[in-house]
Chains A and B, each alone.
Chain A
Amino acid sequence: QKEVEQNSGPLSVPEGAIASLNCTYSDRGSQSFFWYRQYSGKSPELIMFIYSNGDKEDGRFTAQLNKASQYVSLLIRDSQPSDSATYLCAVNWAGANSKLTFGKGITLSVRP
């Protein structure tokens, strides 16, 4: 198993729908989990991070972390065409000096 896996995708949802993006990770005493958005040809932009089990909400975005099942997800409510991008899941392993290990990303397309 790869360290950080984002296998579902590409994902297409209609405007206004909820987009659900999933990420699984290897158990290495993981510490913090980050979601980045990356538009084509641009650099990653931080959306939010989570480090405690449960949900964390920020506007239309909700991150969910389940350490027992080793997955982290990002929900985007009321999806907009401007949300169309690649979403990268990243993990900061404990003792890794904050360096990030990324999944390969999930491409989301929001249809008008």
Chain B
Amino acid sequence: DTGVSQNPRHKITKRGQNVTFRCDPISEHNRLYWYRQTLGQGPEFLTYFQNEAQLEKSRLLSDRFSAERPKGSFSTLEIQRTEQGDSAMYLCASLRSVGTGVGNEQFFGPGTRLTVL
């Protein structure tokens, strides 16, 4: 257990429905990252927050995706009008940004596995 929690762990939904995932990072970690992982691939970066500010979004993050981190604590990732291609493991990671960033270690939560029928 890394101290990063994610809920729900599994989500099955029908195409066209909206889903929301939550990530609770390690409390003293100021940075929070979202990744998506499909079968047989490594995780792909989606977006990240420094405290409550969303500082970068990947091209993978279409306008159906939105993420928030109110008050710089937990974060939510919402997918609107889900598509079958959204089926994946959604991973959250946090770190405490120190100095130049060399060796900044990211710790992953258990992930939320989304299945879109």
Contacts and interface: CB of A to CB of B under 8 A. Distances in A.
Contacts of B48: 97, 99
> Binding site of A, secondary structure by majority: helix, strand, loop or mixed?
strand
Q: On chain A, which size bracket covers the interface? A: 20 to 34
Interface in B86-117: 89, 91, 93, 95, 97, 101-111
A31 B102 contact: yes
A104 to B, nearest CB: 5
Contacts of A36: 108
B43 A45 contact: no
B85 interface: no
B62 interface: no
Contacts of B106: 34, 46, 98, 100
Contacts of B42: 4, 88, 90, 102-105
Contact of B101 (A45, A92, A102): A92
Interface of A: 4, 31-32, 34, 36, 42-46, 49, 51, 88, 90, 92, 97-105
